[in-house]
Every structure is written in C-alpha cells, then in structure tokens.
Amino acid sequence: MKIHIIGSGPAGMYFAILMKQADSAHEITTYERNGPDDTFGWGVVFSGKTLAALSQADEPSHAEITRDFEAWDNVDVVHRGQKISIHGNSFSGIARLRLLKILQRRCEELGVSVNFHRGIADVDALRLDCDLLIGADGVNSLVRESFKQYFQPDLSSRPNKYIWYGTNQLFHGLTLTFRKTRAGVFAAHSYKFDQTTSTFIVECDPQTWTNAGFTEKSDEETRAYLAAVFAPDLKGHPLLSNNSKWINFVLVKNGRWSFENVALLGDALHTAHFSIGSGTKLAMEDAIALKQCFDETTDVSMALHRFEKVRRPVIEDYQAVAYESMVWFENARQYMHLDPLGLAYSLMTRSKRIDYETLKRRDPAFIAAYESSGIKA
Ligand SMILES: Cc1cc2nc3c(=O)[nH]c(=O)nc-3n(C[C@H](O)[C@H](O)[C@H](O)COP(=O)(O)OP(=O)(O)OC[C@H]3O[C@@H](n4cnc5c(N)ncnc54)[C@H](O)[C@@H]3O)c2cc1C
C-alpha cells in the first residue's frame, strides 16, 4: 500500500511505525513542515494503561520511551499556600521533543521515508497519489479544512486563556496550584518530565486575563508577571519560554471521520482538554486502533469505516470526561471559597470518572482527612 502522512507529531509517526512494522512492503512517506528539532511545548504525560498498549504495539519504541521516564503517583493541589497530596494516580512524563526523536529514529530504522521542512499546501494532489492519506496535522489541520464538507468539523474555541511554559523548579507529581490575585484566579498545571525541567501551564478566565492587562504586556512582561503570581511555588526559578503565547483551547470534533481514502488522526480528529493530560496518549492510541483495522482488511474504505466504528465511542467517552474537567477550570473562581481539602476533593471528582469510593480505595488517608475536616465539597 502507498501511504502519505501529513504531520510528524505523535499520531503520524506512530501510525507510520506500526504500518511499516506490520508489512515492510508498504511504501510510507511522512511530510512535516517543521524541522526535526523544532517543537512546541515541554513535557507530555502517559498513564500506566497507555504504556501497556504501547508495549504491545511496538516494544522497541516503548523500551526507549520508558527508559528515562519520570514516574509519579500523586496529584498535589496547592490552595491558600497549603499543599494537599492525593496518592494512587500513576502517571509518567517525558519531554515532547525526546518522544518525537524516538519515534523519528524508529521510523527511519524501519524504512519510512521521513521528510522535514515539507509543508503541504495541496492536500488533494497528495490524496490522488496514494492508497491512503492520513491527516495527522494537528489541531489546525489543513486536511480537515480542505475536505470540511465531508468531515463536517465542529470547532469550539473555549473562553479560558492558557500559556505553556517550562521551569527548572521540579514539581514531583501533577501539581495543580491556585493563586488568587487582585486581577482574579490563576491556575498552574505542572509536572516534572526530566531531571531538570517541569512543564508549567498557566490558565485563567477571560476576566482575569483582561484585568491583568495582558493585551498591553510584551512576552517578557507576561512571563515576569506570572512568575510573580507563582513566586512562592517557583522558589526563585524563572518561567522558561519556548515562543510561549496565550491561546484558547479549541475543542475539535468531526461529524465524519474519513472521506474516500483520507482519514484524520490525533488532534486533527479530536481534542481533549489538557487538564486530563491525554492528547498524546489519544493520538498514539488512534494510530494503534487504525493499524488494527488494517490487520483485519486491506480494503481502505472498509478499514476506515471500521476505525470510526470502534474508536468513536472511546473518544466520545474521553471527550465527555475532559469536558467536565475543562468546565471545572473555566469556573475555578467559584470554588475558591473552599478550604484546601475541599478544593482538592472537588478537583479530584470533577470529571465524575473518580468518585468518593475510588478515592477511598486509592488514598484512604486523604479521604479520612477530608471527612474529619467536616467539609462538604
Ligand atoms: C498546553 C498544552 C498542554 C498539553 N499537555 C499535554 C500532556 O500533558 N499530555 C499529553 O499527552 N498531551 C498534551 N497536550 C496535547 C498534545 O500536545 C497533542 O494532543 C498531541 O501532540 C497530538 O498529537 P498529533 O500528532 O495529533 O498532533 P501534533 O503533535 O500537533 O502534530 C501535528 C504536526 O503536523 C504538522 N503540520 C501541520 N500542518 C502541516 C502541513 N500543512 N504540512 C506538513 N506538516 C504539518 C505540525 O507541524 C505538527 O508537527 C497538550 C497540549 C497543549 C496545547
């Protein structure tokens, strides 16, 4: 089969690896507009369950990915300067760039034709030149846009603003920090992803953003302002920018998942709010699911229909959980009256995926402290 893949993020490269590994006769070419060392962002996280799926799908890349992983089992909630730790939530982090380099090396080792600095402008020309065209071109997908009458995308830009920084202050565990200022409430999502660096995402509602005057602030001034807001947490470490800009989260859904020989994967197909840390996981699991459909049939149209049938319910479930989580953060201001234990409980149960019983099983000490405090979240 001749396969073209637009986008060399986790979805595109992982699908290339799995297909080539299944049949070396596949002629697979990836196209990426950026260079091999360019990246946005800092670290990404995976759950234990995702790692088991990656191990089954391709052990060599799994072994590399897990070699230098930073693993933790706690979520820390910081409110009014007090830290509450909730255990039993196992996650691991890795630098996005490191993950991409591992996938890139594995593609090359298997004989995938990997092209960087090759932005695609004419999607249709590429489509006509192959048996299967994959749009793994991220949240602003040109493939989706080019065939929007078929994919019927539903894109909604959410009200909160967020910005993705790094820092050398090490946050052991997923740390959710709330700081109330005169402008409003700022939340930071942070976690260590290697020996020296943590991801540090700051999120706030539009009122807080306007009150803080960010429209008038340069990138440097913004960074300094936010470092001051989180000074007690950063402990003297600056925030590190990677061309970091304020953005609004875009919730992506598609009415149809494929069109003739074209399929979307990863963020091009769906997004889930970053507060549940699952974008990369979903992108790579999409690749696994689509490859499994091609194990069952070589008929492209049948495989793509099967992919939608098996994968859509899984994605819709994740998006439902992520939606609740996103809305909680959009309304964070209204939870600030809770004391630290009450806020931690409200946060942990925000998406209804984790309830009282789950928390009691995972961390009985936390539930005992919560109950003895006599608060109802
Ligand atoms: C603030 C923030 C925090 C996040 N935190 C996490 C986290 O903790 N854990 C997690 O798992 N995920 C996280 N994510 C999500 C994660 O980054 C994405 O969900 C994931 O990268 C999706 O993979 P992808 O391959 O679908 O798309 P991408 O990684 O976006 O890759 C798409 C690629 O396509 C390329 N491209 C686009 N158009 C073209 C074109 N026309 N021609 C050629 N190439 C093109 C782009 O350059 C890009 O390299 C976060 C995202 C954000 C914004």
Query: How far is the C-alpha of 139 from the C-alpha of 156, rounded, in Å?
Result: 11
pLDDT given for residue 84 in this prediction: 97
pLDDT given for residue 353 in this prediction: 83
Which ligand 1 atom sits closest to the C-alpha of 272? 19
| Regions of the chain with pLDDT less than 50 | 377
Here the tokens at position 275 are 């507060």
pLDDT given for residue 156 in this prediction: 97
Query: How far is the C-alpha of 305 from the C-alpha of 327, rounded, in Å?
Result: 32
Distance 11 CA to ligand 1 centre (A): 8
pLDDT given for residue 54 in this prediction: 95
pTM of the model: 0.94
pLDDT given for residue 71 in this prediction: 86
Report, in angstroms and rounded to the nearest whole number, the Rg of the chain calculated over CA atoms.
21
Summarize pLDDT for 306-342 with one digit per residue, the tens. Answer: 999 999 999 999 999 999 999 999 999 999 999 999 9
- 32 Cβ closer than 6 Å to some ligand 1 atom: yes
Mutate to test the pocket of ligand 1, among 134, 164, 203, 280 (most ligand atoms within 8 A of CB): 280
- 6 Cβ closer than 6 Å to some ligand 1 atom: yes
pLDDT given for residue 37 in this prediction: 85
HEC string for 84-152: EEEEEEEEEEEEHHHHHHHHHHHHHHHCCEEECCCCCCCHHHHHCCCCEEEECCCCCCHHHHHCHHHHC
Query: How far is the C-alpha of 324 from the C-alpha of 328, rounded, in Å?
Result: 6
Query: How far is the C-alpha of 201 from the C-alpha of 372, rounded, in Å?
Result: 33
Query: Which residue's C-alpha comes closest to atom 13 of ligand 1?
Result: 279
pLDDT given for residue 377 in this prediction: 45
- 281 Cβ closer than 6 Å to some ligand 1 atom: yes
Here the tokens at position 346 are 């409200």
pLDDT given for residue 41 in this prediction: 65
Query: How far is the C-alpha of 119 from the C-alpha of 99, rounded, in Å?
Result: 21
